[in-house]
Structure 1
Amino acid sequence: MGASSGLPRPVGPVPGTGKEVAALSRGDSRSGRVSLKDIADELGISQTAVSFAINDRPGVSEETKRRVKQAAAKLGWSPVYAAQALGSSRTMTIGFAPSRESTGMQDESFMLHFMAGLHASLSPKGYGLLFRPCTSLREEQSVYRDWSRRKRVDGVVLVDLRDNDPRPDLVTRLGLSAVLAGGPDPTGQVPSLSIDDSRTMGMIMRHLLERGHRRVAYVAGDPSYGYSRARMDYVHAMVDKGTLESAVVEFTDFESERAVRSTLRLMASAEPPTAFIYETEMLASASLRALAKHMVETGEGRYPDDLPAIVSIEDSFVCESAYPSITAVHRDAVAYGAKVANLLLKLLSGEEVSGDRRVLAPKLVERESTAVRP
């Protein structure tokens, strides 16, 4: 194709494909776009070396990569993603379609921070995050089928592994690259990265036992989630061993109103729990507010002195701003999201990725809600 065609010229390979992509040189009157050749001329090296350095490919030294990236920033170079899409099979997009109740996502600060972490790792590599919240597992699976059919995304992030979860097998059959936040996947089809919260409930229970609590209620989320079942089993085992006098588990499907009803009903029983453990900060804060309102309106107990101990298994500003402030398990959701995204990027680059790894052991942040003994 001659120069009179008006088409841009090829300047370098798309990462991982070896195919050429098009861009306009800095001297082009239509856009003034900086090309890889401009960077090469600036440094006196080949365009191939610049391309390898820009895309973090082997074949050039770390010093060359550093010089190239500095020159690229100085000249104002940026990748042409539209041209990349034309020159390769990649979309430079990662899909995230968690299934939640219609109001669930807006109430979960952990998930929002997790998404920020995903973006923090994906964005520097030129990937966008396609967020498509779903209201059911069936809808989520339908989204994956649609994305695969239309070649809409390069890979997906799965969360909230369930019993007999159909998603690992589905994305494998669809040919979608995927990683699981949580897990591990019992089928071994999808690599996973999970927060090491195997000792979370034990950490909470030790804290409560030290403060004299022997009657405990666990106000959980969804019984189909593996982590909820594991925590429930831990609490029941402590009763079996005689460590706890009694333990009650109530599932709420993450609905605050159900958590409030459970809390008020249990507190009205003959021997109410002296401590409540809530799956999320929203369940905890809604129940705390309901208890305070009940005490003030009925005169049953003194607020806040006669409140039960309260612990949330998720932490956020909600726990800090409540009165009394709520003791909570803190996990760095942004760092977790970034690590999950990095695992998927390795998978997409052809690296060997398998099995399950655990990271980011959580810690208990002690606040006012567990400061007083029963």
Structure 2
Amino acid sequence: MREKAPWPESWQRYGGALRRAPIRKKSLARYIASIARCAALVANGVAGEELGFLTAYSLAKAFTEPADPAAAVKPVTAANYIHALIALGEHGGTHEDALDGMRFVRAHLRRQVSREQKEKFGRIASLMEKGGFAYIAERIGEIRAEADALPDHAARKTHLRQTAALLAVLMNKPARTSDVAAWRIGEELTRLPYGTWRLAWQQEKTEHTTEAGGLWPEVSELLDAWILGGRPDRLVHLRYRELLGQNWMTLTRSAHAGKWPSTRVKAAIGIPAHDLRTLAADYMRRHAPDRAAGIIATHLGHRTEQAGQEYRALCEGEAATQAWSRIRAEIVDTEGKAGVRE
């Protein structure tokens, strides 16, 4: 297994013992990838190579509080990186006191995770009290109505159309924001001649491909409105061709930072985009508890133990689509009360 970043000399010596340890292949691959992330920071002078509290603390701070806030990782991710270093030290023979120092840093990061989880629960509980996805649909309707009332040249109108399209797509298929920010028209997001938009992409985090298939008609309408930008509907095919290869949110070759979609979603509905994934999972658990685990894994793009079983994955993908479509019928009723439809 080849490291993605140069490891300090002492880490390379420990690495041999780590590879020989009775560790599952997948776990070993995760450890090595995490250690490589740490090694890259050590190479940049962020921390020293001697395993112990100071190195773990310096790395944790660099991961969670970098100079560029957009590059920050969550405490749970930083804890996983430090956990990999602990495994390296345990199998390499690092002194127990040094290991205890790193374990202290890992425990501190995990406590932060616990606090974050409580905050997240409060956010989602508040959203559920407002109506959950039905509330989000109402907000999309309100945003669309506000946009329609403005002149086409207004910058605010562009902002609102963009927000409505973003919320609608994430309501249809909750995705990780780093992926959302990178989608391109004609690549991950494609429009069929009869007007349906389709979404499929390779996830950055897992390198696993996931898809939504054909997006809901209401979502496709909002995407059309977004790319048209006030142009007549008859020009949608021409406009689509003009935008092939462009980022779907900027409508240019450039893309927003990975956390931009979450910031925009939070400004619109009060919760970050990632919470929509948790909300979707909760809906599925309540609507199909007997099959929820597989459906959630497929709908949210998780890599499962059974990922190699193509037939099962296909069946789960269809089940996820059907289950989410049934839930959608409850969210957006036939009279359009949820506000997505005109």
| TM-score scaled by length of structure 1 | 0.23
More helix by share: 2
More strand by share: 1
Please tell me whether Structure 1 or Structure 2 has the larger radius of gyration of its CA atoms: 1
| TM-score scaled by length of structure 2 | 0.25
